[in-house]
Amino acid sequence: MRYTEQHKEETRERILDEASQRLRRDGICGTGLAPLMQGVGLTHGAFYAHFPTKQALVDAALDTAVEQSLDRWPTPEDMAQLRAFIDDYLSPQHRDDPGHGCPLSSLAAELGLRGTPSANTDVLVARYARRLDACTLEAGPHHGLVALAAMVGALTLARGVMDQPTSQRILAAVRAALSLPDAVTDNAPAAPAGPAAE
């Protein structure tokens, strides 16, 4: 049975939507083709009518994830919208639903570790960095947590972007932002208690 081009395109979009969620939720290595195709009601063999390789699917699904993220968080037009973007991005709901969340937080580390940085990472880094230029850091008593989050995030993004000058700028910007007093002592406040600290 031959399907129309419209049907084939609609099926491809269903696969991409499912794949973009699974990649963000389970990672690239954790997303198998057979379960993915079963999730959209198709056989494993039908995959190759739409994508020549898994890597081709990953690239296209990352495009979809970027589009969905930019739709969820459009460019803020004022400070109130920027505040809303930051609050939603750092919310428990976003934390607990990676399949519908930002691909930077769920996939940038894996892309970097696999040695397959993505131009999609570059796009989101550039877009989000521009909109966050208005921010100033108010760490209060939590300087250590903010610094650690910035360092881990910087390394993750620097590994995940494709453009090497951008990668260098990410690392250099966070190094420069984390200023230290002339003398460093061991009298820093203790880390917050938690399961890892016990």
pLDDT digits (tens, 9 = 90+) for 142-181: 888 888 899 999 999 999 999 999 999 999 999 998 877 7
At 25-45, the pLDDT tens digits run 999 999 999 999 999 999 999
Rounded CA separation 68/63 (Å)? 9
The pTM of this model reads: 0.79
Superfamily of 5-180 according to CATH = Tetracycline Repressor, domain 2 (1.10.357.10)
Listed by start position, the domains of the chain span: 5-180
Between 194 and 152, the more confident residue is: 152
- pLDDT above 50: residue 93: yes
pLDDT digits (tens, 9 = 90+) for 121-150: 999 999 999 998 888 877 778 888 888 899
Residue 63 tokens, joined: 């495009």
Amino acid identity for residue 156 in this structure: T
* C-alpha torsion 37→39→41→45, nearest 10: 10
- Tell me the average pLDDT across 71-84: 92
